[in-house]
Amino acid sequence: MEQIEEKIKLSEKLKRKAFEEGFDAVGIAKVPGSSRIKLRSEALERWLEAGHQAKMGWMNAKRRKNIETLLDGVQSVLAVGLNYFVDIETKPRDLLIARYAWGKDYHKLIEKKLKNVAKFLEKEKPNSKWKICVDSSPLLDKAWAEEAGIGWIGKNSNLINSKIGSWMVLGHLLSSETLIPDEPAKSLCAVCEKCIEACPTKAIEEPFVVNSNNCLAYHTIENRAKVIPEEMSKKMGNWIAGCDICQDVCPWNQKKIPSSTESELQPSEWILNLNKKEALEWTDIEWKEKLSGSALKRIKPWMWRRNINSTSKQGIK
């Protein structure tokens, strides 16, 4: 009984510490998880076999399907979500960038905050082992976040939280400590398919299945080809880095979402006032300076120009 009470207290302390660090959603999952983790792993296998990962070879990493390879002796996962929604609109809107990339690189921000949680854990349990994972790690991050109860995976494959919608970036703290798990989240999408209907390229081929080959986010950020396929560029609208269409139409994002006060997630001035004419005149050096410390620095200057020129085929929308 004493051991259980100790685990309950430690679990509560860790979650409280995570909230103190500024995370908006926090939950705990037990390893190896419920049968849902196995189902999500099998779904990933089918997705890969269908070639939906396009040129993103790293999605094939075998470690992604076995959390034990990331931390030997892992017993629990602390999943966290950070709200990145900022209640402001860009001007003049002739070029659009996905909201998650408006501020500084969220990977570093999440790592910094989770490291403080991990240090707290070390003080409580000096012999424990831990590992921090963000979405660049070979982990089924959305599946484990769902298992920890901080949201459910929507039909557009984004994690949705009933209070802050899908405007969340995720992080995980793997731990060798046996913590008290929260109830896994249950899907509240019901029969809604607005995200599927709104996707201009029909990338969401069926509920929960996004074909990257037809996704604007993939083509504007990951595609290294000199030219974006014509069937994609015709439907790009003004999106030059990522795409928020499937999130914008989600009913869970229609209510009043709290605007993030996190300083590092506030939009850069150049993003708020981005226009086509000026952006095409920027040199490589100017692009690199503006993207310094951004999650979008992986987009090379020539790719920005490629993306911007691709939007000129439709006109302003």
Selecting among 94, 135, 248, 284, the annotated active-site residue is 135
Long-range contacts of 46-52 (CB under 8 A, 24+ apart): 47/209, 50/211, 51/213, 52/209, 52/210, 52/211, 52/212, 52/213
What is the C-alpha to C-alpha distance for residues 241 and 97, in angstroms, rounded to an integer?
5
Longest dimension (CA), the chain: 68
135 in active site: yes
- DSSP H helices in 133-243: 141-147, 194-198, 216-221, 230-233
Compute, in degrees rounded to 10, the torsion defined by CA atoms 272, 277, 278, 281: 140
For residue 24, what are its two tokens?
A: 């908006």
Q: What three-state secondary structure class fits 159?
A: strand
Asked if residues 210 and 217 have their Cβ atoms less than 8 Å apart, the reply is no
Nearest to 163 by CA among 75, 84, 256: 256
Residues recognised as catalytic: 135
